[in-house]
Amino acid sequence: MTTETLIYKYPKLKKLFETQCKKAPIIFSKYKKNMFEYQVIAPYLNPHINITKTYFLGYKYNDYLYYVSMNSSNEAVELLMKNIDKINLDGLVQNTNLRIGPLLEHSFTKFNRFHWEWMNMYSSNPVVIAFLETHPDEIQWNKFSQNTCSDAIKILEKNQDKINWLMLSSNPSAMQLINNNLDKVNWTSVCLNTNPEVISILEQNLDKIDFSYLSSNPNAIHILEQNLDKICIWKLSENTNAMDILMKHPELIDDTRIMTNPSALSYLEPLVVNNNHHNVYYIATYNPNAFQFIEKMLERKIISNNNILDIHNKLIVNDSLESLFDLDYQAMSKARTKLLEYELMAKALHPSRVSKWVDYHYDNGGTVANFEYF
């Protein structure tokens, strides 16, 4: 029987983090907080480990509990249910597991304003949305109007008199509401809406477009190309679909903002090759694809060992830190196929089978000399 081997997308970076993790002092101070936090949170960010084997329950700092409470694995939720007094509410409201309903109800009186705001605006967990609907007094309609969860949209459709149209206008999941209420929408917010359906609305209302905000919309490239004199340069430089425009018009590139653009890696690579360490650090901190980028630089040995620790500390605060544990499913599929091949060969060429083949060959007039052709 084959055993699954986990293959990570960024093995060099993962090894780097694990190495630095061992060197990190187990001291909590504002000066070493980043390195310490990785040592603390690394196991809990990785969804591929058994959370029940960790030792967070005995630690006095809340940093452990935040990441465990946010972990959406069934094992983590079961662990929290058995240790309700250990729950970190900041982490719990972000948990996407569908079994957290009892934990939410238990924590109802403990949630503060920021917890309610987060659940209203960002939660995509149907259980959290149902929890809010059960407690309608806690629905903050200006925040809730920004929620993209389909369950939240259904509630908004039933309560259109409570909608905040400034907020809803940028909600990519609310197109039916927007289309049916063009007289109520905020056009600046509509320009920020990333739903492709918005573009046809804007094309029919060109006089209402706010090009400064539209410059960041990845679906509005053809409109922006026709109005280059109206765009906002720094927002265009962050636009993931604007690289063709930026390459044709380099004068429109904002040198700082372009480093945050996940589509700009091929443009940014020469800057790193030329040993511009400031660029490397900025990319490591703010670019969502920094892990893919830095892994490539490590493979090519472009980044020197002198910069490894600094880059490590920048990556720690990257919002995409969890991607460090992304699995390489293509490589895992190949490895799994190879294991199956080995298993098949081991069974097919087992001595007991070979012995039967040889006996059959001899019984039918074969010889050692021609066995391979049999």
- Residue 308 belongs to a domain: yes
**48 pLDDT above the threshold of 50:** yes
276 pLDDT tier (thresholds 50, 70, 90): low
Question: Is residue 56 pLDDT above 90, yes or no?
Answer: no
Residue 145: the pLDDT is 98
Mapping DSSP onto H, E and C, the string for the chain reads CCCCCCCECCHHHHHHHHHHHHHCCCCCCCCCHHHHHHHHHHHHHCCCCCHHHCCHHHCCCHHHHHHHHHCCCHHHHHHHHHCHHHCCHHHHCCCCCCCCHHHHHHCHHHCCHHHHHHHHHCCCCHHHHHHHHHCHHHCCHHHHCCCCCHHHHHHHHHCHHHCCHHHHCCCCCCHHHHHCCCCCCCHHHHHHCCCCHHHHHHHCCHHHCCHHHHCCCCCCHHHHHCCHHHCCHHHHHHCCCCHHHHHHCHHHCCCCHHHHCCCCHHHHHHHHHCCCHHHHHHHHHHCCCHHHHHHHHHHCCCCCHHHHHHHHHHHHCCCCHHHHHCECHHHHHHHHHHHHHHHHHHHHCCHHHHHHHHHHHHHCCCCCCCHHHC
- In this predicted structure, the answer to whether residue 59 has a pLDDT above a threshold of 80 is no
pLDDT at 126: 98
pLDDT in tens, 110-164: 999 999 999 999 999 999 999 999 999 999 999 999 999 999 999 999 999 999 9
**284 band by pLDDT with thresholds 50, 70 and 90:** confident
Choice among 177-186, 198-207, 300-309 with the minimum mean pLDDT: 300-309
Q: Clarify whether residues 302 and 362 are in a common domain.
A: no
The pTM assigned to this predicted structure is 0.72
Q: Are residues 321 and 362 in the same domain?
A: no
Q: Are residues 271 and 317 both part of a single domain?
A: yes
Report the domain count for the chain. Answer: 2
Average pLDDT, integer, range 322-331: 76
Query: Are 311 and 279 found together in one domain?
Result: yes
Residue 281 lies inside a defined structural domain of this protein: yes
The verdict on residue 160 lying in a domain is no
Q: Is residue 51 part of a domain?
A: no
In the predicted model, what is the mean pLDDT of the chain? 82
Q: How confident is the model at residue 228 (pLDDT cuts 50, 70, 90)?
A: very high
Residue span of the structural domain in which 262 resides: 1-23+255-327
Same domain, 290 and 320: yes
Q: In this predicted model, which residue has the larger pLDDT, 127 or 36?
A: 127
Q: Does residue 199 fall inside a structural domain?
A: no
Looking at residue 34, its pLDDT comes to 40
* Residues 319, 361 within the same domain: no
Same domain membership, residue 340 and residue 314 = no
What pLDDT, on a 0 to 100 scale, did the predictor assign at position 366?
A: 62
In a domain, 191, yes or no: no
Statement to judge: residues 259 and 280 lie in one domain? yes
Shared domain check, 272 and 294? yes
Among the ranges 10-14, 163-167, 262-266, which has the highest mean pLDDT value?
Answer: 163-167
What are the pLDDT digits (tens) for 75-108? 889 989 999 988 999 999 999 999 999 999 999 9
Within-domain flag for 264: yes
